[in-house]
Amino acid sequence: MPFTTLITGASSGLGAEMARQFAALGHDLALTARRTDRLDAVKAEIAAAHPGVRVETYALDVTDDEAVAAVFARAKGDFGHLDRVVVNAGLGKGAPYGKGSHYANRQTIETNVLGVAVQTEEAMAIFREQTAGHLVLIASITALRGMPKSMTTYGASKAFVAGLGEGIRSEMMGKPELDIDVSVLYPGYIRSEMNEKVEQKTKFMVDTVPGVRSMVEAIEARKAKAYVPAKPWLPLGKAMEHLPLSVVRRLLF
């Protein structure tokens, strides 16, 4: 049976490029997002480049709990099984606290915290039933430390994602009867629609294709935790873990 991967947020940026690169490895794909025209374009591109790969697309807003449950179940039914779920859909909206833009922070929390929680719930339910699977959570290097200004909520939401993944991995260590792996990726800045919109200037930007290549390599290796791409983000990430906050805030912006 072909290896089947479900990717949320596959309509642009890292999700769309992961779909292209997993297709090149011969994986069947269930792709979800709200912009179905963009999903159809990714599907058509993959069909032309890799005609043997099966791609199904599903309209999904990850802030709708019932829709997440229904779409994940439909994808599992369509393919018969899901080997891997990449919880990738994310939002980078945000505003400094106390300046009257709570709505922006709220939207990011709804997508990156509540949306990630329900995607993880449904993925883990499928994996427990199959007694196997690979849960991949896309956190961010901004999860490692407190981020200033418009990045504060985003970084805090990604710290939730990272903690969620490590917690489930800890639980799975005590369950040898379940062959379930959990990977948490901490991408640095990789070119996508999201960081075109980020207000704060970012340093160390990596292009989409090489950036996603290192994400795909870490996922295929089923790494528990990966700062990607390693150049320059492994040393930067390690430095961020230990440097004083006053240095970290100048390092990234």
Ligand X SMILES: NC(=O)c1ccc[n+]([C@@H]2O[C@H](COP(=O)([O-])OP(=O)(O)OC[C@H]3O[C@@H](n4cnc5c(N)ncnc54)[C@H](OP(=O)(O)O)[C@@H]3O)[C@@H](O)[C@H]2O)c1
Beta-strand ranges (E) seen in 12-171 are 28-33, 55-59, 84-87, 132-138
Interaction of residue 203 with ligand X, rule CB under 6 A: no
Residue 65 or 178 having the CB closest to ligand X: 65
Q: Which of 91, 95, 184, 248 binds ligand X (CB under 6 A)?
A: 91
DSSP 145: S
Piece of 50-58, 82-90, 128-136, 232-240 that binds ligand X (CB under 6 A):
82-90
Q: Which of 88, 108, 150, 183 binds ligand X (CB under 6 A)?
A: 88
Joined together, the tokens standing for residue 250 give 């100048």
Interaction of residue 55 with ligand X, rule CB under 6 A: no
Q: Is 189 labeled as catalytic in the residue annotation?
A: no
Whole-angstrom CA distances from 181 to 163, 192, 222, 230 are 15, 27, 7, 21
Q: Which of 4, 13, 75, 135 binds ligand X (CB under 6 A)?
A: 13
Rounded Cα gap, residues 101 and 23, in angstroms: 40
Q: Which of 2, 45, 63, 172 binds ligand X (CB under 6 A)?
A: 63
Q: How far is the CB of 87 from ligand X (least distance, A)?
A: 8
Interaction of residue 147 with ligand X, rule CB under 6 A: no
Interaction of residue 192 with ligand X, rule CB under 6 A: yes
Q: Which of 146, 183, 152 has the alpha carbon at shortest distance from 168?
A: 183
Cα torsion angle, 188, 193, 194, 198, sign: positive
Which residues, other chains included, contact 77 with Cβ-Cβ below 8 Å and sequence gap of 6+? none
The residue from 58, 154, 189, 227 that is catalytic is 154
Q: For Cα atoms 225, 228, 233, give the angle at the middle one, nearest 5 degrees.
A: 110
Binding mask 22-41 for ligand X (x = CB under 6 A): -----------xxx--x---
175: helix, coil or strand? Answer: coil
Catalytic positions, please?
A: 154
Residues that bind ligand X (CB under 6 A): 8-15, 33-35, 38, 60-63, 88-92, 111, 115, 138, 140, 187, 189-190, 192-195
